[in-house]
């Protein structure tokens, strides 16, 4: 988890950051600058306790253009997309959609490399391939080899009790793969 | 006109407001070459003493007999300039104003085009000025009485102020007693005076004042007449109790079987009977039957109260009635309502008895500070601010202004009442701007009130307590805390019916639902109609002090208006050329004021009833009718003058003078932009402009016309009927134009209200349409000219 920064200097501010987010959000983006920091979003957030910056603080950082702080924060990855913030925001800022957009930007730029980001990427890779979640595959992909080796014994125990299977869980058809192809094609098209 | 016109044109820079966009020197040069112009001058501020002296001196020096003033809107300075020409010895009606600010420099960006347009409209004015005639205003006596609508603190003070100045006041109140919201409050910030103790004596004064007549349970339903002489129809609901006979002994209420009616005065926290005294200090001090809950009115039997009344003051046969009063002026003081917070589900209002509104908390403070659920003194009390305020998406966009101070006061009183208590105030921004307000905020901090900067996300009932969740935004941490009582500072709304009562007297409501003042800063208590004023929360949320200030202002404005005893009546009236009139009578029916009668085979206009709308003028097949100060000659001169514009295509916007013209002013005030191809000509109503005028416009070189009309300012007609007639008028012109080979799209109509002035966006649509259409050929124009010359 990154630490909360107590000093923001000019080199940390990207003057175009807010407008990039606004553009990506389309019509919804017009509401972003309306945030007046009341904190209803953070008060409503079920995950805020675990975040480094609260959702409200993310809005403030966006305003300042503190791009790296925002995209390196845990907040955007921990957002559970429950929509409480979006529903309650008195100014109509769709916080959930803002978080989504921030995730997109972070995913596109290899500069931002949080564990949560890797988790997102590997998770979808596994699901795309198998049509469903496979814990073993995800674990192997996500963790360094040394960690995998170190935990072999534990894995064996889980296997003996039937908690994990060695053959990957696969769905009977390739519908999920097709859906993900479609979505990917759309995303490429939009960009 | 026998004498040769000697016109002076005076062009204002307006300190750059005009000259930054319009090349004033170029306009001056062009104006000096216009026919009849003897002198053209510019000045940095024509409305300044030097500017006015320049006009006066030029009139004398150049023996001017006409003055054209090119500056801001005549709504701003017409009186100023009329006075100047008057001082110089000219009749004030020999002045014509051209609006090159709101209708030119503020709405255009292309400097060359704006300058060309300015020259064109100055030419229109110069041509019109040649035909101006001297006129004398007339005077009419005014009614020395005022109707005040709403008996809250604003209405009370406006009434007292006017009554003490000697005017007869009718104080019209919808509820059974005057007093309003202030009478429900405990103490008032920041001085902590007892609300009832300072308010009730004024109520008594109102009740006893020989010049004030209180009419309760009444609402105005119709207003007719003219400034200084309004006629108001009131709908008065029955009280079923004779006010003069009731001694308010209360025997009736003791016998009333309906004991569980929510008590409005206690904000629903207590009960009353169906026959009740609204509250102990009520004025008039008399009981009233609430037919919605009375057993007799619901089931047809009971009347126990009538038997209990030893004075026979109860009368179940009373009926709703209409009453008409004549007043010279009207003051609206219709006040506010408190928003119902239940749609904001996260605050659980209604799910737990100890979640109350701030108005209910006022009643709790007065009732011994016992919380509703178990009648115990609460220890931890949370005040949640901005419930429904400052929430464009979830309530009202505006700040309700008084809630911060109310919460401070309530927390302070709680702490005073019960030193062990622990008030927490959850705020978004603490707004304590006002005399002694910040000091009070400081006192509250000294008294150990806790302040958390963060809007509460949710309030949930939790085992007898209420759990609040919020972010302490100054810390960036979530906090959860349990409270014994939660107070919601709900948004203040315009009271129900504000829009309707405003419409009766020509006062629009803004997007927030509150009444719109004539000028936000400089005429803050005036309505659009002369003799109509507003005060207090009807104009927006405010506290007692400000309401009283506004009430006194409105009273002062009303007495300034009525004090002269007479009102100047514009001489801009219709008149008949008797030699041309054949008494056919087609003009009689269209007149909205029934001001035309046929007498001895000739039409006769009653100048008292005539409002100068000019609707009759184009109707006359013989052109025997005309309108003073907007004569056929003058109107056509304007049309031909502006049509020589170099900005092509040219679209003339015939704009109704009250709402339409002001809407265009507001468009400029807002610095919105439209194409300089649009040129505005002010007309009393768009129906003053008939087919003949439109044909003249096309013959003169115009490529399109727009009719800008008021959506509801129909001289007594209903909005629907007025709009129907307006649309009918324009579509008839469109149909007729087609016969001359001119496409209907070249004549457009738009109806606006002041708050919807942005509807004039249509100007650009019209310009684009005309630009996209095939140009009008010279043959078509020649044919029209031919028809017109016959």
Percent of the residues in chain A that have a pLDDT greater than 70, as a whole number: 96
Give me the total of CB pairs closer than 8 Å, taking one residue from chain A and one from chain B: 75
The pLDDT tens digits for B528-575 are 888 999 999 999 999 999 999 999 999 999 999 999 999 888 899 999
**Chain mean pLDDT for chain B:** 94
Interface test with A, best of B344, B393, B395 (most A CBs within 10 A): B393
- Count Cα neighbours of B89 within 13 Å in the Cβ-side half-sphere: 9
The pLDDT tens digits for A126-159 are 888 888 888 888 888 888 889 889 989 998 999 8
pLDDT (average), residues B687-706: 95
Name which of A4, A36, A88 is nearest B457 (Cβ-Cβ).
Answer: A88
Are the beta carbons of B471 and A42 separated by less than 8 Å? yes
Are the beta carbons of B471 and A39 separated by less than 8 Å? yes
Q: Is pLDDT at A2 greater than 60 in this prediction?
A: no
The 10 Å Cβ neighbour count of residue B500 is: 13
Continuous segment of H or E residues that includes residue B693: helix B691-700
B contacts of A44 (beta carbons < 8 Å): 346, 457-458, 469
Establish whether the linkage from the previous residue to B757 is cis, with ω within 30° of 0: no
Continuous segment of H or E residues that includes residue B705: strand B704-710
The answer to whether the Cα torsion of B559, B560, B561, B567 is positive or negative is positive
Q: Is pLDDT at A169 greater than 80 in this prediction?
A: no
Residues 335-354 of B with CB under 8 A from A: 346
Are the beta carbons of B455 and A91 separated by less than 8 Å? no
Residue in chain B lying closest to A36 (CA): B428
Are the beta carbons of B478 and A88 separated by less than 8 Å? no
Is some CB atom of chain A closer than 8 A to the CB atom of B391?
yes
The pLDDT score that the predictor gives to residue A4 is: 78
Q: Is pLDDT at B712 greater than 80 in this prediction?
A: no
In which band, very low, low, confident or very high, does the pLDDT at A188 lie, cut at 50, 70 and 90?
Answer: low
Q: Is pLDDT at A114 greater than 70 in this prediction?
A: yes
In which band, very low, low, confident or very high, does the pLDDT at A3 lie, cut at 50, 70 and 90?
Answer: low
The CA-based angle B664-B666-B667, given to 5 degrees, is: 60
Is some CB atom of chain A closer than 8 A to the CB atom of B429?
yes
The pLDDT tens digits for B277-300 are 999 999 999 999 999 999 999 999
Q: Is pLDDT at B671 greater than 90 in this prediction?
A: yes
Is some CB atom of chain A closer than 8 A to the CB atom of B459?
no
Joined tokens for residue A70: 């925002």
Q: Is pLDDT at A19 greater than 80 in this prediction?
A: yes
Question: What pTM was estimated for this model as a whole?
Answer: 0.79
Strands B145-149 and B168-172: parallel
A contacts of B394 (beta carbons < 8 Å): 88-90
**What was the ipTM of the complex prediction?**
0.83
In which band, very low, low, confident or very high, does the pLDDT at A1 lie, cut at 50, 70 and 90?
Answer: very low
> Residue with structure tokens 């007999």?
B65
Are the beta carbons of B456 and A42 separated by less than 8 Å? no
In which band, very low, low, confident or very high, does the pLDDT at A184 lie, cut at 50, 70 and 90?
Answer: confident
The pLDDT tens digits for B389-427 are 999 999 999 999 999 999 999 999 999 999 999 999 999
- B755/B752 Cα distance (integer angstroms): 8
pLDDT (average), residues B227-248: 95
Distance from CA of A79 to the nearest CA of B (A): 15
Q: Give me the DSSP letters along B526-549.
A: B-SSTTEEE-GGGGS---HHHHHH
The pLDDT score that the predictor gives to residue B226 is: 83
Percent of the residues in chain B that have a pLDDT greater than 70, as a whole number: 99
The pLDDT tens digits for A48-78 are 999 999 999 999 999 999 999 999 999 999 9
The pLDDT score that the predictor gives to residue B56 is: 96
The pLDDT score that the predictor gives to residue B716 is: 65
> Residue with structure tokens 């007495």?
B559
Q: Is pLDDT at B714 greater than 70 in this prediction?
A: no
- B292/A35 Cα distance (integer angstroms): 46
The 10 Å Cβ neighbour count of residue B432 is: 17
pLDDT (average), residues B460-480: 94
The pLDDT tens digits for B505-536 are 989 898 899 999 988 888 999 998 889 999 99
In which band, very low, low, confident or very high, does the pLDDT at A6 lie, cut at 50, 70 and 90?
Answer: confident
Ordered by where they begin, the domains of chain A are: 10-108 (1.10.1060.10), 115-190 (no CATH)
Q: Is pLDDT at B503 greater than 50 in this prediction?
A: yes
Are the beta carbons of A39 and B392 separated by less than 8 Å? no
The pLDDT score that the predictor gives to residue B27 is: 97
- B387/A88 Cα distance (integer angstroms): 11
Distance from CA of A90 to the nearest CA of B (A): 4
Is some CB atom of chain A closer than 8 A to the CB atom of B453?
yes
Distance from CA of B557 to the nearest CA of A (A): 39
* Phi, psi torsion values for B595, nearest 5 degrees: -90, -5
Longest pairwise C-alpha distance within chain A: 57
Candidates B195, B185, B178; CA nearest to B360 is B185
Looking at A162-166, B716-720, B770-774, which range is the least confident one?
A: B716-720
Q: Is pLDDT at A165 greater than 50 in this prediction?
A: yes
Ordered by where they begin, the domains of chain B are: 1-137 (3.40.50), 138-237+320-335+516-565 (3.50.50.60), 238-318 (3.30.70), 339-493 (3.50.50.60), 573-619 (3.30.70.20), 648-790 (3.40.50)
A contacts of B429 (beta carbons < 8 Å): 36
* SS3 state at B112: helix
pLDDT (average), residues B459-473: 95
Name which of A38, A54, A57 is nearest B455 (Cβ-Cβ).
Answer: A38
The pLDDT score that the predictor gives to residue B713 is: 67
- B763/B751 Cα distance (integer angstroms): 12
Are the beta carbons of A39 and B455 separated by less than 8 Å? yes
* Secondary structure percentages of chain B, helix, strand, coil, to 5: 35, 25, 40
């Amino acid at each position: 988890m990154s630490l909360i920064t107590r000093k923001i200097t000019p080199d940390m501010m990207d003057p175009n950051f807010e407008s990039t987010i606004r553009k990506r959000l389309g019509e919804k983006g017009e509401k972003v600058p309306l945030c007046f920091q009341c904190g209803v979003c953070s008060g409503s957030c079920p995950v805020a306790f675990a975040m480094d910056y609260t959702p409200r603080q993310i809005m403030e950082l966006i305003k300042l253009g503190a791009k790296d702080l925002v995209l390196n924060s845990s907040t955007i990855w921990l957002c559970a997309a429950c929509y409480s913030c979006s529903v309650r925001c008195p100014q109509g800022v769709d916080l959930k959609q803002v978080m989504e957009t921030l995730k997109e930007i972070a995913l596109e730029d290899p500069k931002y490399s949080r564990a949560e980001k890797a988790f997102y990427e590997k998770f979808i890779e596994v699901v795309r391939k198998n049509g469903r979640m496979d814990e073993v595959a995800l674990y192997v992909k996500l963790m360094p080899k040394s960690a995998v080796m170190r935990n072999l014994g534990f894995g064996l125990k889980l296997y003996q009790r039937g908690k994990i299977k060695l053959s990957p869980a696969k769905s009977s058809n390739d519908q999920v793969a097709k859906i993900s192809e479609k979505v990917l094609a759309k995303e490429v098209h939009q960009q | 006109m026998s004498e040769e016109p000697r016109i002076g044109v005076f062009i204002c820079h307006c300190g750059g407001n005009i000259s930054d966009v319009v090349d004033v020197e170029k306009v001056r040069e062009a104006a000096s070459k216009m026919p009849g112009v003897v002198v053209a001058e510019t000045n940095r501020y024509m409305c300044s003493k030097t500017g006015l002296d320049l006009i006066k001196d030029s009139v004398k020096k150049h023996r001017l007999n006409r003055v054209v003033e090119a500056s801001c809107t005549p709504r701003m300075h017409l009186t100023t300039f009329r006075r100047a020409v008057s001082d110089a010895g000219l009749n004030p009606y020999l002045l014509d104003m051209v609006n090159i600010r709101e209708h030119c420099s503020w709405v255009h960006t292309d400097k060359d085009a704006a300058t060309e347009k300015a020259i064109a409209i100055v030419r229109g004015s110069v041509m019109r000025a040649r035909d101006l005639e001297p006129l004398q205003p007339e005077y009419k006596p005014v009614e020395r009485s005022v109707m005040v609508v709403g008996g809250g603190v604003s209405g009370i003070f406006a009434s007292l102020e006017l009554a003490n100045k000697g005017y007869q006041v009718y104080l019209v109140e919808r509820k059974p007693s005057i007093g309003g919201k202030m009478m429900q409050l405990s103490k008032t910030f920041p001085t902590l005076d007892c609300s009832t103790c300072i308010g009730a004596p004024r109520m008594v004064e109102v009740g006893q004042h020989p010049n004030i007549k209180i009419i309760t349970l009444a609402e105005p339903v119709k207003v007719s007449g003219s400034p200084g002489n309004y006629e108001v129809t009131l709908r008065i609901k029955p009280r079923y109790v004779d006010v003069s006979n009731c001694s308010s002994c209360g025997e009736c209420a003791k016998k009333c079987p309906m004991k569980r009616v929510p008590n409005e005065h206690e904000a629903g926290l207590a009960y009353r009977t169906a026959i009740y005294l609204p509250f102990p200090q009520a004025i008039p001090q008399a009981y009233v039957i609430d037919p919605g809950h009375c057993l007799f009115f619901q089931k047809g039997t009971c009347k126990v109260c009538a038997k209990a009344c030893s004075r026979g003051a109860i009368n179940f046969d009373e009926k709703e009635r209409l009453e008409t009063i004549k007043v010279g002026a009207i003051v609206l003081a219709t006040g506010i309502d408190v928003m119902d917070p239940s749609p904001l589900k996260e605050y659980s209002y209604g799910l737990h008895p100890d979640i109350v509104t701030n108005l209910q908390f006022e009643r709790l403070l007065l009732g011994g500070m016992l919380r509703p659920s178990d009648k115990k003194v609460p220890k931890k009390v949370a005040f949640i601010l901005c419930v429904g305020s400052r929430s464009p998406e979830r309530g009202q966009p505006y700040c309700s202004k008084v809630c911060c101070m109310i919460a401070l006061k309530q927390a302070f009183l709680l702490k005073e009442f019960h030193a062990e208590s622990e008030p927490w105030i959850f705020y978004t921004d603490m707004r304590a701007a006002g005399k002694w307000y910040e000091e009070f905020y400081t006192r509250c901090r000294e008294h150990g009130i806790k302040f958390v900067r963060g809007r509460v996300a949710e309030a949930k009932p939790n085992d007898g307590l209420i759990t609040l969740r919020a972010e302490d935004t100054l810390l960036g941490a979530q906090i959860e805390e349990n409270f014994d009582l939660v107070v919601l500072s709900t948004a203040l709304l315009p009271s129900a019916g504000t829009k309707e009562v405003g419409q009766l007297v020509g006062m629009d409501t803004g997007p927030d639902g509150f009444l719109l003042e004539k000028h936000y800063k400089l005429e803050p208590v005036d309505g659009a109609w002369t003799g109509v004023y507003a005060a207090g929360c009807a104009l927006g949320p405010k506290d007692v002090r400000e309401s009283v200030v506004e009430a006194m202002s409105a009273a002062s404005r009303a007495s300034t208006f009525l004090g002269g005893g007479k009102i100047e009546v514009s001489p801009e009236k219709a008149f008949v050329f008797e030699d041309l009139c054949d008494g056919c009578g087609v003009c009689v029916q269209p007149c909205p004021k029934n001001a035309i009668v046929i007498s001895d085979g000739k039409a006769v206009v009653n100048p008292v009833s005539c409002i100068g709308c000019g609707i009759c003028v184009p109707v006359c097949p013989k052109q025997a009718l005309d309108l003073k100060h907007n004569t056929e000659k003058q109107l056509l001169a304007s049309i031909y003058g502006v049509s020589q514009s170099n900005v092509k295509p040219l679209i003339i916007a015939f704009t109704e003078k009250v709402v339409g013209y002001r809407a265009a002013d507001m468009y400029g005030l807002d610095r919105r932009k439209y194409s300089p191809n649009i040129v505005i000509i002010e007309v009393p109503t768009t129906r003053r402009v008939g087919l003949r005028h439109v044909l003249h416009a096309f013959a003169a070189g115009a490529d399109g016309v727009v009719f800008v009309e008021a959506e509801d300012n129909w001289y007594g007609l209903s909005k629907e009927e007025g709009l129907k007639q307006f649309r009918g008028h324009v579509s008839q012109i469109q149909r007729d134009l087609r016969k001359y080979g001119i496409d209907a799209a070249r004549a457009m109509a738009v109806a606006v209200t002041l708050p919807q002035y942005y509807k004039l966006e249509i100007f650009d649509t019209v310009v684009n349409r005309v630009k996209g259409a095939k140009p009008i050929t010279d043959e078509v124009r020649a044919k029209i000219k031919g028809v017109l010359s016959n």
